[in-house]
Amino acid sequence: VSIEIEARLFGRNDRIKDLEEDLKKKEEELAARAKELSQEKLISAQLQRELKDEKAKVGVVYKKVEAINNAIVLKHPDLAPSAQ
């Protein structure tokens, strides 16, 4: 009987070891994925900053074009959009 008990315990210990190894692998996979997500988040934040900067540049160019158009219309009222 004691041999049967030892065999059962040994089998359970092996199963516990397998589960612990599986758990460790899953934890490592999750840690790696968390690192990837962290990197993606940093990249996304950088891209958002770059997009904001580009929008600001476009806004500056738009204002300059608008100022040039207004200056042209002041010198040449016949070129105003309503005159066309």
Model confidence over 13-72: pLDDT tens digits? 888 999 999 999 999 999 999 999 999 999 999 999 999 999 999 999 999 999 999 999
The predicted structure's pLDDT at residue 30: 98
The predicted structure's pLDDT at residue 4: 81
Q: What is the CA radius of gyration of the chain?
A: 35
pTM metric for this prediction: 0.57
Separation of alpha carbons 48 and 40, rounded Å: 12
Separation of alpha carbons 63 and 60, rounded Å: 5
| Residue 11 DSSP one-character state | H
Is the pLDDT higher at 29 or at 84?
29
pLDDT tier, 1 (very low <50, low <70, confident <90, very high otherwise): low
Give the pLDDT mean for 75-81.
Answer: 87
At residue 51, what are phi and psi to the nearest 5 degrees? -65, -45
Q: In Å, how far from its chain's centre is CA 69?
A: 40
- Per-residue pLDDT at 84 exceeds 70: no
The predicted structure's pLDDT at residue 12: 84
